[in-house]
Each structure stands twice: as structure tokens, then as C-alpha cells.
Amino acid sequence: MTERAPECCLDLRGTPCPLNWVKTKLRLEEMEPGRRIEVIVDQGNPERNVPRSAKMEGHRIVHAISQNGAVRICIERAEESAP
Amino acid sequence: MSDFSEGQIERYSRHIILREVGGKGQSKLLESRVLIVGAGGLGSPVGLYLAAAGVGTIGLVDSDAVDLSNLQRQILHTTADLGRPKCLSARETMEGINPDVCVVPHQCRLDSANVLNVVADYDVVVDGADNFPTRYLVNDACVMQGKPLSHAGILRFEGHVTTIVPGRGPCYRCLYPEPPPPGLVPSCQEAGILGAVAGIVGSIQAAEVLKLILGIGDPLIGRLLVFDGLEMSFRSVEIPRDPGCPVCGDRPTITAPIDYEEFCRLRGGIESNPEVQS
């Protein structure tokens, strides 16, 4: 596998929107561009909203895998998230 | 992320979500220090929004007590505050909204002797004063110390607002070089003011201050935003920097704070003090 492993993992099951994204974003801000984070969110709204918000800020969704009623989303930090 | 408590993450979530703010921007707000001159019609919305936004230290200058006639527009204060110093009433309201905020009361009138010391402690200054002596004093002090200043004025159904960043645009004296003679321009006390106009114009000042701290967008530098509440319209007037401005010009003649009365007196006898010749 050439894929880099995520730098950290945030378990955001039970954290409602938009706080799950807020916590993801705060972590992304501290990471170097190109680094990856894995977040685990609930199915339903979180699984739609968190990737959408991440993409809106230019980050890349590497993959999203459903697993045991939750979704593991791997996000690669954008070059510079500032507008 | 570790710098924010769970409560702060939730409290500031709508800021942090903004691409232009984020956690870094919110941290800047929490570390910033803003001075509000006047806890009245303009100072009220400014104080409320800056406290809610998490501006970490907010200084408040006001020497007055809460009067019943204030409550129609000065929404920092309540009926229960009648007779109390505005500084203290305002502090209670602001810290009640957000305990992250430290409100520093300056229960005094600014004058040429204290203005530099008070202003020196802050990153950004908001002019919400109701009188010309204070307005000129605050402008001059901010230019001398290189502090960004949000200036606004309101009367009847109208208001204007501009942002002064010394070195990047004009100052208040570029626009109005000298104070009007006492009594020429009516005050809100004489002419009246629609309370909500204070809210609109003060809210613009609050937004400008937050933008300055965050370093985002285009502040009203070199622009006077004029609001007409009867027409419900805004227009933007370009204001140039005056190279001959006595305070921020190329060869400033006012280099230390001066009081309004003294300024008027000296204008009558300019030979005795060539320093204030303009």
C-alpha cells in the first residue's frame, strides 16, 4: 500500500453536527498540508455533512467506509486552508 | 484544538466554521484587547457583539451613570441599572454574556493628560463618544500611537462610520480638520435619535473591529459609509488622506494630545503657539 496512514483518529460518534466538523477542522488546522486524519462519525447527517464541509474548505476525502453503524472518513489536509 | 475547552468549541462553533476565522482566528479574538470609548448608544451594540465574539479584553471608558432616557437605545443597560455607573452596568452585561471576556472599566473622562495611557493598553479602539472633544482626542491619540480606530456618529435617523488605520488611510481630522464651534452641531439630546439606528451603526463598528483583529476583508479605510434610516440606504463616500493634516499629515503640527477647549483658545491666538497652526 502506498497510501499514507492517517496521522490521528478522532472518534466523533455521538457528537452532533456541526460540532463534529468543528472538532475535525480544529485538528486539521494544526496539521501540515498533505497529512491525513481519520474521523469516525455517525451515519446519516454527519456522514454527509462532515465530508461536504471538508471539501468546501479544499480538503480531500481519501475514503469513507461504513462500519458497524458508523463511518470512518479519511481526510487529507489541503495545502492552505486560508481563503 | 487542545487550547479550547469543550464549552468554547461549542460557544464559538459558528465562528470556527467560517473559513476566514477558524480556530486560529478565534484564538486571535480571545487574545485581543479592544477599547470602547462610550458605553452608550454605539458602545452598547459594540460591547455586546465583541463580548459575544470572545474578544478577550474589552476596556470601557464612560464617566456617566445610567439615566432613564438612555434605555431607549443603550441596550447594555437595564431599568434595574438606573443610577449605576455605566461602566459597571456594562461590565455585568458583557461578562454575563461571555465569562471568557475580561471587561476593564475606565470610569473617567478622557482628556489630554490620560488619553495616551488608556489607549496604549489596547490593540483597537472604538469611538462611540457623544461629544467632539472626545472624538478629536481619541483620533489624535490613535494616530500618535498607530492604533486602528473605528469611528462613527449618529443623529436622528442617520449615521456614518469609517475605519481609521494610521499610515494606511485618512484620519478623522483629514475629514474634519477642526472641531465645530460648541453648540453648532446638535446632539442626540437635542435632535433625537432612533434607537435602532444606534444598533445598526454600532453593529457595523463591531464587524469592522472583528475584521481588523482577524485581518480579513476590506475595512472602511478611506471610505465613509453613510446610512440613512428613513430611506433605508447606504452610500459610500471616498475620503482621501490629507497630506497637510495637522495630526497624520506629512508634517504634523499636533504632536501631543490637546483638549478641545485649549484647541479653540489656541486657534484664537495662533501666534502664541505656532505648533497648532494648520
What's domain A11-76's architecture?
Answer: 2-Layer Sandwich (3.30)
Radius of gyration (C-alpha) of chain A in whole angstroms:
12
d(CA B53, CA B45): 12
Chain A CB contacts of B13 under 8 Å are: 18-19, 22
Please compute the mean of the pLDDT values over residues B53-76 and round it to a whole number.
98
Instruction: Tell me the mean pLDDT in the region B30-42.
Output: 98
Q: Quote the ipTM score.
A: 0.90
Interchain contact, A57 vs B19, CB within 8 Å: yes
Domain for residue B9, yes or no?
Answer: no
> Which residue reads 447527517 in cell numbers?
A45
CB contact under 8 A, B17 and A25: yes
The answer to whether position B194 is within a domain reads: yes
Domain-embedded: residue B107: yes
Dihedral angle over CA of A16, A19, A21, A26, nearest 10: -150
DSSP for chain B, written as a single string? -TTS-HHHHHHTHHHHTSTTTHHHHHHHHHH-EEEEE-SSTTHHHHHHHHHHHT-SEEEEE---B--GGGTTT-TT--GGGTTSBHHHHHHHHHHHH-TT-EEEEE-S---TTTHHHHHHT-SEEEE--SSHHHHHHHHHHHHHHT--EEEEEEEBTEEEEEEE-BTTB--HHHHSSSPPPTTSSPPHHHH-B-HHHHHHHHHHHHHHHHHHHHT-S---BTEEEEEETTTTEEEEEE----TT-TTTSSS-S--S---HHHHHHHHHTGGG-GGG--
Q: Is residue B4 part of a domain?
A: no
In chain B, the percentage of residues whose pLDDT exceeds 70 is: 93
A44-53, A63-72, B257-266: lowest mean pLDDT where? Answer: B257-266
Average pLDDT, chain B: 92
For residue B195, what pLDDT band results from cuts at 50, 70 and 90?
very high
- Answer yes or no: is B11 within a domain: no
Measured in angstroms, the CA of B145 and the nearest CA of chain A are apart by: 30
Give strand pairing partners of B169. Answer: B166
Hey, are the CB atoms on A22 and B16 less than 8 Å from each other? Answer: yes
pLDDT recorded at residue B266: 53
pLDDT tens-digit series, residues B144-172:
999 999 999 999 999 999 999 999 999 99
Q: Where are the domains of chain A?
A: 11-76
Mean predicted confidence (pLDDT) in B43-64: 98
* CA closest to A27 among chain B residues: B1
**Contact between chains at B13 and A22 (C-beta distance less than 8 A):** yes
Domain, as residue range, for B77: 16-276
The span from the CA of B276 to the CA of B252, in Å, is 9
Residue B3 lies in a domain: no
Please state the domain count of chain B.
1
pLDDT 10s digits, A12-40: 999 999 999 999 999 999 999 999 999 99
Q: CB neighbours of B159 closer than 8 A, spacing ≥ 6?
A: B152, B153, B197, B198, B200, B201, B226, B227, B229
CATH code (residue B191) = 3.40.50.720
Q: What does the pLDDT average to over B5-27?
A: 98
Task: Kindly list the residues from chain A whose CB atom is less than 8 angstroms away from the CB atom of residue B214.
Answer: none
pLDDT in tens, B216-252: 999 999 999 999 999 999 999 999 999 999 999 999 9
Compare CB distances from B23 to A26, A53, A83 and report the shortest one's residue: A26
